[in-house]
Chain A
Amino acid sequence: DAGVTQSPTHLIKTRGQHVTLRCSPISGHKSVSWYQQVLGQGPQFIFQYYEKEERGRGNFPDRFSARQFPNYSSELNVNALLLGDSALYLCASSSTRQGATPPDYGYTFGSGTRLTVV
């Protein structure tokens, strides 16, 4: 079984540009969450989607948006990029519905997209 796949793996953008990051969850998983990990820090929650609806949002500006498609894949969009948006963006999938205790394996993360803003 394929794990969580993210694309692209690396990306370099200029300040002010827009970026779209993509995530395909594990087959059968309906919940996708996005996290931002700045170098030297732990991942920070951005969004959670379940059954194509936004279920939670972290403390990020409106420049960040996301959506989930009927096949449960997801996109994270960031507008008007700032230097501080440079980070590893992680996608995590889970099989359980919102609020339910996840299986013992918790959340499965992809390898991430390394975004560099110059």
Chain B
Amino acid sequence: EDQVTQSPEALRLQEGESSSLNCSYTVSGLRGLFWYRQDPGKGPEFLFTLYSAGEEKEKERLKATLTKKESFLHITAPKPEDSATYLCAVRSFSSGYSTLTFGKGTMLLVSP
């Protein structure tokens, strides 16, 4: 059974204080690791897809990295508008279809 564990559950940062979110996973046959951002009461918004260990992707103040067992979402000099819940998900393929298995998310609060 695919499993995704995210840490910490919640993180409070001051504006400009860089940090990292962790996503550890176990999956039989990884077909992509996804990072999403979710604002309260909204659906997840796609950020990144990573497919192989060593891969990195960047978007503005966010950088995602992937190893064989975990992924990190690095946030550099965050701003209050980066406050949201960040979800990690793995895509696997079994029984003839693919699906996403999500972690519980990390709730990020950036204070001015």
Interface residues of A (CB under 8 A from B): 4, 33, 35, 40-45, 48, 50, 55-56, 58, 88, 90, 92, 98-99, 101-102, 104-112, 114
Contact = CB atoms under 8 A, between A and B. Distances in A.
Contacts of A106: 32, 34, 46, 49, 91
Given A42-B4, A106-B49, A99 B97 contact: yes
Given A33-B99, A105-B49, A112-B41, 17 more contacts: A40-B104, A41-B104, A43-B44, A43-B102, A44-B102, A45-B100, A45-B101, A55-B97, A56-B96, A98-B96, A98-B97, A102-B49, A102-B98, A107-B100, A111-B41, A111-B43, A112-B43
Closest 5 CB pairs of A and B: A42-B102, A56-B97, A109-B43, A55-B97, A45-B99
A47 to B, nearest CB: 10
A43 B90 CA distance: 12
